[in-house]
Chain A
Amino acid sequence: GAVVSQHPSRVICKSGTSVKIECRSLDFQATTMFWYRQFPKKSLMLMATSNEGSKATYEQGVEKDKFLINHASLTLSTLTVTSAHPEDSSFYICSAKRYRDTEAFFGQGTRLTVV
């Protein structure tokens, strides 16, 4: 299967700072990447969908200015949590797919803790 790498796997940041999470497709070109948020013992909530070279499409209720998504190349998408607050602490996970693929492949996830 295709490999998606997410970095970092864990990050702790101070309240008010910004943190960037990277999602890379290692052995394929991902036309579309997705960012999810997962609360403890809960399901995955889609935050946004990004296509290479275009603006991300955010789900209803997700703050665009707080969660900046950039999909600069066919192998890299980044999620930047700006002015982080403790309530932003969560598990963030990305996925990527090629245009014709049926399934999307997920990264390892990033556990963000804002203190």
Chain B
Amino acid sequence: AQKITQTQPGMFVQEKEAVTLDCTYDTSDQSYGLFWYKQPSSGEMIFLIYQGSYDEQNATEGRYSLNFQKARKSANLVISASQLGDSAMYFCAMRGEKYSGGSNYKLTFGKGTLLTVNP
């Protein structure tokens, strides 16, 4: 079974500062993928970043980076230089080996972290 744990129901950060959103996962799969999605109050889910379990480098996408520590089974999202528009729910998700492609693709989501960026 796969499980995603996000222990921070809410986080606050000052504008222009960096913030780390925590995510730990549990799986027995050797190959898996980790995702972060942003959900603004409007509801849509916006894909932010992906990390494969065999990727040697931590993933980065603009102001987003994923701090992947495989031995600790953690995949924390780091947002640098926070902006007011970053205020949203953030979900960590996982796709296991069995659900890696085609019709077997399946994401397991954490409960999310509500990030508030203060001016």
Contacts and interface: CB of A to CB of B under 8 A. Distances in A.
Interface of A: 1, 9, 31-32, 34, 42-44, 46, 49, 51, 57, 91, 93, 95, 97, 99-100, 102-109, 111
Contact of A100 (B37, B46, B101): B101
The 7 closest A-B pairs by CB, nearest first: A106-B45, A109-B43, A108-B44, A43-B109, A43-B111, A51-B103, A44-B109
Interface of B: 33, 35, 37, 42-47, 50, 52, 91, 101-103, 105-107, 109-112
Nearest to A109: B43
B105 to A, nearest CB: 6
A45 B52 CA distance: 23
A103 B109 CA distance: 13
Nearest to B46: A106
